[in-house]
Amino acid sequence: MAQLKGHERARYVTRMFARISRRYDLMNSVMSGGRHYAWRRTATTMAVEGLRGRALDVATGTGDFAFDLARRPEVTSVVGLDFTREMMELGLPKAQRQGVRQLVSFTEGDAHGLPFPDNSFICATVGFGIRNFIDVPRALSEMARVVEPGGRVVSLEIVRQDGRGPISRLARFHFRYITPWIGSALAGDREAYTYLPQSAQGFMSAPELAEAMEEAGLEATTYRKLALGAVAIHVGMKPRRNTC
C-alpha cells in the first residue's frame, strides 16, 4: 500500500471502503470504544457555532458527520460528498431513520476537485478522511475555496504520534497489533485494518496538519486533541478578505 501512488492509491482506497462499507459503522464504534459519535458532535459545534447556512461534509462515508451538521439549528442543509458510492448508499436509509433525510443530500465526487463554486458553504468538514487523500494541500485548498469568507474548514482525524512516552507507545502498539486483529476478527478484512494504522502513522502530526491548513490559506488555525492525543480536531477560518 505504502508504495502505491496517485490514482492507484485512490482506487485502492475506494475499493477498500466499498468492501468494508457494511461493517464500517460497527468497526468505528469498536475501535473508538463508541467515542467517535461524541468526537463528531464536538467537531460539529466547532464548525458551525455563530454561523448560518449550508454545510459541506467531505469524505462523508456513511454520513454520520453530515447528520450531526444537519441537526444543528445554524445549518439549513448539508451536502455529503464521497468517491465511494457504496458508503453513501448506506447513508440514505440512516438519514431517513435519523429524521434528517430532507436536510442532507449525497454527491459522488473527489475531495481534490470539489464540484462547487467558490464561497458556497459556511463550513467544510472532513472526518477520518483527510489521511486517505493523495494530495492533502490540494484538498485543503479546495475546502477553503468552497467555504465563504469567515467560514471554517474542520478536520477530525487520527494524527501521528511521535512521542516516546508510554501513551504514545501504547497507541502505536494498539494500532500496529490490536487494530488489524480486531479488523480481521470482526470485519473479516485484515488488509483494510492494517491499512488504517499504517495510514495514521504515515500521516501528519497535529502541528503539521495545522501548518498545512495555514498554507492552504486558512487563518487562526487551532486544534484540540482527544483520545490521549491520538485524535485531533483542527479548525481554520477562511479570511474575511478572500485571499484563498
By the rule CB under 6 A, 151 interacts with ligand SAM = no
Among 67, 106, 121, 128, binds ligand SAM (CB under 6 A): 128
Sorted by sequence, the CB contacts under 8 Å of residue 181 that are 6+ apart come out as: 190
Asked if 116 is part of the footprint of ligand SAM (rule: CB under 6 A), the reply reads no
For ligand SAM, the closer of residues 84 and 194 by Cβ is 84
Closest of 222, 13, 219, 199 to residue 112, by C-alpha: 13
Q: Does 17 bind ligand SAM (CB under 6 A)?
A: yes
Asked if residue 127 binds ligand SAM (CB under 6 A), the reply is: yes
From CA 150, how far away is CA 219, in angstroms rounded?
10
Applying CB under 6 A, among 31, 56, 69, 84 the residue interacting with ligand SAM is 84
Please identify, among the stretches 9-17, 163-171, 181-189, 214-222, the one whose residues bind ligand SAM according to the rule CB under 6 A.
Answer: 9-17
Closest distance of CB 119 from ligand SAM, Å: 21
Among 20, 48, 111, 144, binds ligand SAM (CB under 6 A): 111
Site string for ligand SAM, 48-77 (x = CB under 6 A): -----------xxx--xx------------
Q: Is the dihedral of CA 94, 187, 80, 77 positive or negative?
A: positive
- What secondary structure does DSSP assign to 134-194, as a single string? S-HHHHHHHHHHHEEEEEEEEEEEE------SHHHHHHHHIIIIIHHHHIIIIIS-TTHHH
Out of 87, 95, 104, 153, the only residue in the binding site for ligand SAM (CB under 6 A) is 87
Binding flag, residue 14, ligand SAM (CB under 6 A)? yes
Q: Using CB under 6 A, which of the segments 13-21, 47-55, 144-152, 168-176 binds ligand SAM?
A: 13-21
From residue 27, alpha-carbon distances to 156, 186, 236 in Å are 17, 7, 29
Half-sphere exposure (CA, 13 Å, Cβ side) for 52?
1
Cβ of 101: how many Cβ atoms within 10 Å?
16
Q: Does 183 bind ligand SAM (CB under 6 A)?
A: no
CB of 233 to ligand SAM, least distance (A): 12
3-state class of 209 per DSSP? helix
* Measured CA distances, 238 to 81, 115, 120, 147, 233 (Å): 20, 19, 12, 7, 17
Binding site for ligand SAM (CB under 6 A): 10, 13-14, 17, 28, 59-61, 64-65, 82-84, 87, 110-112, 127-129, 132-133
